[in-house]
Amino acid sequence: MKHKLFAFLSAFVALLGITLAVNANTADAISTKTKQYYGIQKEFVTPKATRGTWYSYDMQSNKFQKIVITKNTAEGAKLFKALNAKQTDAMIKKINKMSNKQKRAFYNGIYDQKLSQAEIYKYKGKTGFNVNNWLPTAGDGVYYVPVTRTRDGKKVTALRIGTGANNYFASYAYKTKELAK
């Protein structure tokens, strides 16, 4: 009886392993399909100096905002290298051929999956990056650049956050809540 139970459990575990392996490959295939559908070429890699958890303080709401930047994400958005002009034109032609229902589904997919484009951005000699919607329709997104600030008489690294067409200053974020306040 124990041998039958052991054989059954072994077969079950093996089948479970095969199922998980097949599903993992399916997930990769869907990911590749999604990238092709949206014209995505390569993941964007954020500058190391911008990565980590940052905090900014909003004096009006009296609350902290947590900003998380990883190797390939910013505030939960998946970052990909922006398309060049020729690639963008090709995607626009593809979108223009879609019905209104297909266009809505296309753009909803971008927002639902948090797909964004990013580019390296230089600000006063510092390397940061700019994030915008994938295939943006307007605006110039959000800029993240590491800078040096003086807090309590000490120089500390901060993250300058800017928005709009000309990288208008929005706020500074710091590595700790104490520095942010």
| pLDDT per position as a tens digit, 46-97 | 999 999 999 999 989 999 999 999 999 999 999 999 988 899 899 999 999 9
Give the domain range for residue 137. 40-180
In terms of domains, do 145 and 60 share one? yes
| pLDDT per position as a tens digit, 5-50 | 333 333 333 333 333 333 333 233 337 888 888 889 899 999 999 9
Among 88-97, 109-118, 129-138, 143-152, which stretch is predicted with the lowest mean pLDDT?
129-138
Cβ within 8 Å of residue 133, ≥6 positions away: 110, 111, 115, 116, 117, 141
In terms of domains, do 162 and 73 share one? yes
pLDDT for position 32: 83
In terms of domains, do 176 and 97 share one? yes
In terms of domains, do 71 and 139 share one? yes
The SS3 of residue 48 is helix
The SS3 of residue 35 is helix
Q: Which residues of 42-67 are buried (b: 16+ CB within 10 A; e: fewer)?
A: eebebbebbbeebbbbeeeeeeeeeb
In terms of domains, do 110 and 136 share one? yes
Average pLDDT over residues 95-101: 93
Number of domains, the chain: 2
pLDDT for position 34: 81
In terms of domains, do 84 and 14 share one? no
| Residue 73 structure tokens | 């994400």
pTM, two decimals, is 0.78
